[in-house]
Chain A
């Protein structure tokens, strides 16, 4: 695995993604979700909202990095709130 040049932050990032995927799969098995419409302009499943949330979070992080000098942790906290809002009301 050394050839992959792992670092602690990237390892934590991928562990986080893996935990989210396993968690979402378990959630789906325990209580299958129904497609619904929230504030997003399209009907979405739980997985759709997760994907939209992760993709938009990536762009929010990029915008923070490119346009501001604010610590990236601020973007992460904002994205965490955004994910909660999206999953609950999206």
Chain B
């Protein structure tokens, strides 16, 4: 017998969130759409230009390069952070004080504000006063992130790996702790190797947390701004100028509101598409299970 009464009163509980999102996201987004079809000189002087800005930004080689750079960056850090995060999680102690200590130590980089992370690495990478820079010099590597694009990329990637691998590690750690002991007992009875335990027990059980980890890291890295801005300022040249920084340069640096708005919308659509692909994949995987 069905005793549950269905009603839609719960929607009223969502109303405050909807209002907050409306003011913080929907109305600004509508304004950006309005800006994207106009040439704006000042608040009172603006001209309708149709789709001109969209054509301009999509054919702009600087933005295409920034988009390519952004994808390379996001995929690079995911390729490094996910396996590394799994390894760290596997090596972390599971019981006793060591477990608590390891959790605190691993979580520390996550607590540091983004601009501080940029500053830390800015100093850390300097050959004269930074440990990393001095170390590179001592082993005979001519390392200078301020003048060499490869070094700048290396430093930006290392900084992200240092800052965000703990997130993947903590997610994996929680996933590993959720695996019931009986699986390991069965593996011991079968005399399974360490690799077999990882491949056939731990990794399949980590699938969901890994998808969440990849999704979070992709979204976050795709919108990265503060850390590279503080560390390299997008340079040398424009070698570490990612999408958000290119957008800020256009919108605030040059005050080209129309093209910047069109660019924001293209950027938004790309993020929306990637989010949807990830979301659909996650939902379908859960359904298959």
Q: Which A residues are closer than 8 A to B by beta carbons?
A: 3-7, 9-10, 13-14, 42, 51-52, 55, 58-59, 62, 65-66, 72
Contact = CB atoms under 8 A, between A and B. Distances in A.
By secondary structure, the B interface counts as helix
Interface of B: 27, 30-31, 33-35, 37-38, 40, 43, 46, 48, 50-51, 54-55, 58-59, 266, 269, 272-273, 276, 280, 284
B30 A55 contact: no
Contacts of B38: 5, 7
Contacts of A59: 269, 273
Contacts of B34: 4-7, 10
A9 to B, nearest CB: 7
B30 A14 contact: yes
A4 B26 CA distance: 12
Contacts, number: 52
Contact of B54 (A4, A7, A42, A66): A66
B37 A10 contact: yes
A5 B276 contact: no
Given A4-B34, A10-B34, A62 B48 contact: no
Contact of A62 (B58, B272, B280, B284): B58
A7 B146 CA distance: 45
Given A42-B284, A59-B273, A10 B55 contact: no
Nearest to A54: B272
Nearest to B272: A55
A4 B37 contact: no
A4 B27 contact: yes
Given A4-B27, A10-B34, A55 B284 contact: no
A80 to B, nearest CB: 18
Contact of A72 (B30, B33, B51, B58): B51
